[in-house]
Structure 1
């Protein structure tokens, strides 16, 4: 059944991919939230313009025409945050902004609110042989994760009070065409043939291809079993840092020059340089169990790791 959808964060990495899928398929009528009239104008997408996104944004009348909201806008996690009070900055957008939108959506009769959260609500890492699930007690360790947890809690309470269905999706690290940050840096290193000291890292990391995340979001638009559930999402194939670099180099058609430096040496060096968080991402494990996502929704990641890395590498080569 076609739905009228409002998408926030439509100019971002994840939101942009969701918009492209919905706009191309033309099954649902999708409108995108923008801050400037020029944004998305060339894509011929109906837009809803707002001046800012926070706890004071006025939405009301504009929301009555939609029955589903996909909320991917957020103040995202950044390394070395320059804010004097990062938690307050995250709360202003990720909690106050989200709850303000959700309350007004419920008042206007929006049926379902899909919230793109983060695996950071679960925590920063798992021990060997253990996996995060959507039903674990939250254990966020940084301001971003705390803000996402608080938004989730507020949305669940609002759903109980109003009957608006809430769907929460917690992605792990998302990669795909146009990826930025550390993943892009990794591709640049491999493309230049720089020897990297990551040839002996035996961790396990869950990742999710952008297309797989988007497919799950689209599935949750109208799947009856998605209502008021929390889903973790990954590719269903966990990799060590060494394996990821090797596969990415192959996708880039470059040799993987990986030097087998023990992970404990890397972690000690990173700690001395004040890069402990980065070493955790490179050497530590973070695995998720997506059994609930698979069984409750009958969902399977449609894109393999190899296919997703090939698409990511192709985009990288075309835009260098």
Structure 2
């Protein structure tokens, strides 16, 4: 039976990429989008959909701390309102995009996140996501299955955030620090496949999808350079400076550790690793599709 999916958050990177991925793979899903930047979403007939995939939100880079009210209005209040509306109209599954950012102020052991790590964020973006999770999880039952995704940094062709900055650096820098770090990341195709499987198997609960292997920033930069035919020399010359500068936000974002233990992301029902590391870089950097 073909399932119908409503993406709340029109023209989002994740939503648009999911639609494209499902079409390319001929998945048996009917997918619509609705804009949430006004109240027109309330006019949509939610009762005809099996799944609501909620991707609308104010991203970390799109609002200042002085606009913290906007984070809570969009990321928290709107999410809870749409989830309640979906349940009231008989939707069977609600999928919410949260983020690894909810751990931005948590006590971590060298960047490691386990099932026992308590989410905590002093940042309005992360805190608004935590409050959204807390607001929708109690709605979950056998007739309305709530899914919360806490992905790490998502990247792919057309993505925003830190990846494009690293890509630009890789294309102009002759050298780059060879600093040993470990980060969880998630390519958009691996995420899209995971979402498709969540829908197919009608799952509910908390999920932590990530690429099969952790990423070392210097390895990623070097591979990006290789894809563009550029050789980058990796050097440990700057490592001492980086080590003493890890409390600086920008340095921490690039060279700090932040990763989920593998056990959080392995599911016996979900073989979602459709792209290996090299493939993800090639597909992200070059228009091969």
Q: TM-score, normalised by structure 2?
A: 0.89
Q: What are the Cα deviations for residues 142-194 of structure 1, in whole angstroms up to 9, with x where unaligned?
A: 1111111111111111225x9411011111011111123331122122223x2
Residue 262 of structure 1 corresponds to 238
How big is the shift at 1:16? 1.1
Number of residues of Structure 1 aligned to a counterpart in Structure 2: 287
What does 1:1-16 align with in structure 2 at a 5 Å threshold? 1-16=1-16
Which of 93, 96, 111 matches 1:115? 96
User: Gapped runs of 5+ residues in structure 2?
Assistant: none
Correspondence for 2:22: 22
Q: Deviation of residue 244 (structure 1)?
A: 1.5
Match of 1:85 in 2: 67
Q: CA RMSD in A?
A: 2.6
Partner SS state of residue 284, structure 2 = helix
Tell me by how many angstroms 1:304 deviates.
0.2
Residue 77 (structure 2) aligned to one of 96, 105, 111:
96
Residue 209 of structure 2, aligned match among 230, 233, 245: 233
Alpha carbons 1:121, 1:140 under 8 Å: kept = yes
Q: Deviations over 1:268-290 (max 9, x none)?
A: 5687xxxx211111121011124
Distance in 1 of aligned mates of 2:278 and 2:143? 41
Residue 134 of structure 1 and its aligned partner are, at CA, apart by 5.0
* CA deviation string 1:230-267 (max 9, x = no partner): 11111121122111211221222211144433344136
Aligned 8 A contact 2:98 2:151 in 1: yes
CA-to-partner distance for each residue in 1:53-89, whole Å, 9 max, x for gaps? xxx666266211111011111110118x435232x11
Counterpart contact for 2:194–2:270, Cα < 8 Å: no
Distance 2:200 2:262 in 1: 20
Structure 1, gaps ≥5 residues long? 35-49
SS in 2 for 1:32: strand
Query: Is 1:305 equivalent to 2:277 in the alignment?
Result: yes
Query: Is the 8 Å Cα contact of residues 6 and 33 (structure 2) preserved in structure 1?
Result: yes
Distance 1:61 1:176, change over 3 A: closer
1:66 aligns with 2:49: yes
Q: How does 1:1-320 map to 2 (within 5 A)?
A: 1-24=1-24, 25-34=26-35, 52=38, 59=42, 62-78=45-61, 81-82=63-64, 84-86=66-68, 88-123=69-104, 126-128=108-110, 131-134=112-115, 136-159=117-140, 163-192=143-172, 194-196=173-175, 198-224=176-202, 226-227=203-204, 229-266=205-242, 276-315=248-287
TM-score (norm 1): 0.81
Pick closer, same or farther for the CA change 1:190–1:293 going to 2, 3 Å: closer
